[in-house]
Amino acid sequence: MSLPKFIVGMIFALSIVAGWSYVDGASLGTILMRAVICAVIIQVGYFLLVFAMIARSTPTPADKIREADRGIKVAEGEKLTARRGSLR
């Protein structure tokens, strides 16, 4: 879902909540509280949706190449030591 669609949908949902609260005879404070609660629920749902989409996405060929390039190639018999900062 793109961000503009999300924003339009959120504004639409919040206006429905505010209209329903007004018709119900709620006070201004109650209308604002309901709108804020609705906005928080929508934001959490959108975050979870985007998180789920990222979590289940498969790596692209560029990601696989990048991961392969990160491997350290060491000649046979050569040791990797961390001598930087040692006192020996």
**Is residue 54 one of the residues assigned to a domain?**
yes
CB 42 within 8 A of CB 58: no
**Is residue 31 one of the residues assigned to a domain?**
yes
**Is residue 84 one of the residues assigned to a domain?**
no
Look at residue 34 in the predicted model and tell me its pLDDT. 93
- At 43, list the tokens: 């934001």
Name the domain count of the chain.
1
**28-55 helix and 3-23 helix, angle to the nearest 10 degrees:** 150
**Is residue 7 one of the residues assigned to a domain?**
yes
pLDDT in tens, 32-54: 999 999 999 999 998 998 899 88
Look at residue 85 in the predicted model and tell me its pLDDT. 54
Domain containing 30 equals: 3-69
**Is residue 80 one of the residues assigned to a domain?**
no
**Is residue 12 one of the residues assigned to a domain?**
yes
Look at residue 55 in the predicted model and tell me its pLDDT. 87
**Is residue 87 one of the residues assigned to a domain?**
no
- At 85, list the tokens: 């900062």
In Å, how far are 2, 34, 39, 51 from 56, measured between CA atoms? Answer: 18, 33, 26, 9
pLDDT < 70: residue spans in the chain: 1, 63-65, 67-75, 77-88
- Give the predicted TM-score (pTM) of the model: 0.59
